[in-house]
Amino acid sequence: MVKKKNKRFKQSAKQTVAVDAIIATSTVEQISIADAQRAVKRSNPWKYAGVAVLLLAVLTIPYGIGRDIAFHHTADAIWFLSRVQPVGWALISWCATTITLISLLIAVIESRWRSWGVLAYFAFAVEQLLSGLSILSTKYWWGTKVIFGSSSVYANGINAGIICAMGALGFFLVVYITTLIFIKKTSPLNVFTRSWAALTLFFVVELGGLIVAMFGGFI
């Protein structure tokens, strides 16, 4: 009797294990299918193609419009630029560049492309329009002097704001990468590698870039 009970118990245990294995397998298959469907949706090539086309359009069209105005409608460009002080243009161009970068970072961190991504595209379009209008260059003093003459100071303000904002980005990347490589995980300084702490540090560095643009003699 004891042997029969043991056999029945073993058979029942085997059946239970088999049923559990089937359920687990089907569950894994369902999860795998769901994950695969999500992956297909996320890796839609048309989506990436659309993003690439939109990025190319935002990169070239506003810049081309601004450059065309600077070269072929110079008097109108000077009138428009003279409505704001050079320091004000440095602030505006810095804001456009910094908003582009911060929106892009938040869109990546939070995966919210429909809100922050759209803001990044819009700010980037404004920045590109200003870049074309001011004939953006690392040696902008010569180009703006030739095109705008004595009114080149306004375009210089735009160039200073954009270049200093990008310079601040480069400085931040050096600091951030150095922290990742050389600072130990147990160090209090490692807090700067966290997403929102890094974003705050980036904004502080960008504020330093704004001060340099406005009062560093670049205008």
| Mean pLDDT for all residues in the chain | 82
Q: Which residues are CB-contacts of 41 (< 8 A; sequence separation ≥ 6)?
A: none
- Among 209, 203, 95, 104, which Cα is nearest to 163's? 209
Q: What is the value of pTM for the model shown? A: 0.76
**Does position 156 have pLDDT exceeding 50, yes or no?**
yes
**Does position 197 have pLDDT exceeding 90, yes or no?**
no
- Among 130, 181, 177, 174, which Cα is nearest to 155's? 130
74-99: average pLDDT: 96
Helix (H, G, I), strand (E, B) or coil at 216: coil
CB neighbourhood size of 146 (10 A)? 10
30-63 pLDDT per residue, tens: 445 455 455 545 556 777 787 788 889 999 999 9
* Confidence tier at 112 by pLDDT (50, 70, 90): confident
